[in-house]
Amino acid sequence: MENNLSYRTKHNAKVIAAQWGKSPNDRADWYKIEDKADGAEILIYDVIGFPFVEAKQFIKDLNAIKAKTITVRINSPGGDVFDGVAAYNALKNHPAKITTRIEGLAASIASVIALAGDEVHAYANTMYMIHDPWVMAVGKQEDLRSIADVLEKIGNQLADIYTGKTGLEADTIKEMMHTETWMTAQEGKDLGFVDKVLDGEGKTAKYNLKNIYSNVPENLSFEAQLKTFTAREIERVLIEAGAPRGYAKMVAARGCTGVIDDHRDDDEDAIINTLLQTIKGEKR
């Protein structure tokens, strides 16, 4: 395993973070743990693992939990495969009864972590996605052949996890991975990935997924997600930027569709920053 982590350089950290629209200096906590009287809760709501907080710290924090039940709430676009598999194994081996709950999106390696639960729950409006592992690589032909061999091994290991949960044939799972398969909660249940579909609605994913994946459903496009901003949310941002309350209410009532159309490739923070700059007079 350690030999496969040679990619964790400062340069690659910048490249990988940028792919997710982040900086490695963010040191984002992709998980939060809260011990409660009636059980522990783990929130996984961001990009998993390197170049941010690595699985070693997650496992240390997880092993400190003494509760008899753990609920793992998931809304993640994926992340580092080695950190994700390490987190999956740590959860599987924890003595507590674990329920994983998909609250928005369980894509890529997050779809593996979701299967660590003794029971896998998902809100009806959530999505689940599996795909072949991939990597950004530069090197000589020998280097690239070696990387391809490693990816094949990783893919087979992930397929084993999926088949172990669903009972589907390995060839079926591998084809689903190869074609990047997106599933609704009900589709995931029908295929054996999900044990129970929950009533109600989970969270909106709000990730720029088209920069990462090939077959993102239209309802998960970043533009569609941004249109879920409420008037109250837009008004709050404008007031925080110093706009008069009446002006903020007027702009919020009109929505931010125009801003979205002008920034179709930007992330949510860029959209908000544009609004802030405009109100402050920094952008004309």
Domain-embedded: residue 225 = no
Query: Do 151 and 245 share a domain, yes or no?
Result: no
pLDDT tens digit at each of 284 positions of the chain: 344 677 777 887 887 788 777 777 766 688 999 988 789 999 999 889 888 888 999 999 999 999 999 999 999 999 888 899 999 999 999 999 999 999 999 999 999 999 999 999 999 999 999 998 776 555 577 766 776 777 788 888 999 999 999 999 999 999 999 999 999 999 999 999 999 999 977 776 566 677 777 777 776 755 555 545 567 777 777 787 777 888 878 777 765 544 444 444 445 555 556 665 555 555 44
| Phi and psi angles of residue 210, each rounded to the nearest 5 degrees, phi first | -70, -20
CA distance 265 to 210: 9
CATH number at residue 136: 3.90.226.10
CB burial class (10 A; 0-12, 13-18, 19+) of residue 165? buried
Where among 189, 216, 243 does a domain terminate? 216
Number of independent structural domains in the chain: 2
pTM (whole model) above 0.85: no
- The domain in which residue 257 lies consists of 231-280
The tokens for 114 are: 């979701």
Q: Which of 76, 111, 121, 131 is catalytic?
A: 131
Q: Which of 76, 108, 111, 121 is catalytic?
A: 108
CA distance 162 to 153: 15
The reply to whether 108 belongs to the active site is: yes
The reply to whether 94 belongs to the active site is: no
DSSP 3-state helix, strand, coil percentages of the chain (rounded to 5)? Answer: 50, 15, 35
Query: Do 132 and 239 share a domain, yes or no?
Result: no
